[in-house]
Amino acid sequence: MLDILEKLKLEAKKASRRIIFPEGDDERVVQAARILLREKLLVPVLVRADDLPGIECVRPEGDSEIDALTDSFYSANEKKYESRAQAAETLNSPLFYAAMKLKTGAVDGFVGGASSSTADTVRALLRCVGLKTGAKILSSFFLMILKDRNFLFADCAIIPSPTSEQLADIALRTARSYKTFVGPEAKVALLSFSTLGSAKALSPGKVRRAWEILKSEKRDFEFIGEIQADAALVPEIAVKKTGGEWKGGANVLIFPDLNSGNIGYKLVERLAGASAIGPILQGLAKPGNDLSRGCSEFDIMNVALLTAAQCGENN
Report the CATH number at residue 231.
3.40.50.10750
Do residues 119 and 5 both lie within one domain?
Answer: yes
Q: What percent of the chain has pLDDT over 70?
A: 96
Which residues lie below 8 Å from residue 40, measured CB to CB, with a gap of 6+? 13, 16
Residue 151: pLDDT band with limits 50, 70, 90: very high
Whether residues 145 and 122 share a domain: the answer is no
How far from each other are the two terminal CA atoms of the chain, in whole angstroms?
24
Within this chain, do residues 6 and 129 fall inside the same structural domain, yes or no? yes
When pLDDT is cut at 50, 70 and 90, the band that residue 184 belongs to is confident
Are the beta carbons of 310 and 46 closer than 8 angstroms?
no
User: What pLDDT does 187 receive?
Assistant: 95
pTM of the model: 0.88
Please tell me whether residues 141 and 179 are part of one structural domain.
yes
User: Do 225 and 185 share a structural domain?
Assistant: yes
**Same-domain check for residues 245 and 293:** no
For residue 265, CA distances in Å to 153, 156, 184, 190, 262 come to 7, 7, 23, 15, 6
Q: Kind of pairing, strands 275-282 and 139-145?
A: antiparallel
Rounded to 5°, the CA angle 107-111-117 comes to: 140
Task: Kindly report the CATH number assigned to the domain that includes residue 41.
Answer: 3.40.50.10950
Distance, CA of 39 to CA of 47 (rounded, Å): 21
> Residue 246, Cα to own-chain centre: how many angstroms?
28
pLDDT tens digit string along 10-69?
988 988 899 999 999 999 999 999 999 999 999 999 999 999 999 999 999 988 899 999
- List, for residues 229-277, the tens digit of each pLDDT value: 999 999 999 999 988 889 999 999 999 999 999 999 999 999 999 989 8
What total number of domains does the chain contain? 2
Q: What is the structure's pLDDT at 312?
A: 76
Query: Which residue range(s) make up the domain with 60?
Result: 1-135+284-315
| Residue among 222, 287, 218, 282 nearest 252 (CA) | 222
Same domain, 147 and 248: yes
pLDDT tens per residue across span 197-212: 766 666 668 898 999 9
* Separation between Cα atoms, residue 126 and residue 24, nearest integer Å: 21
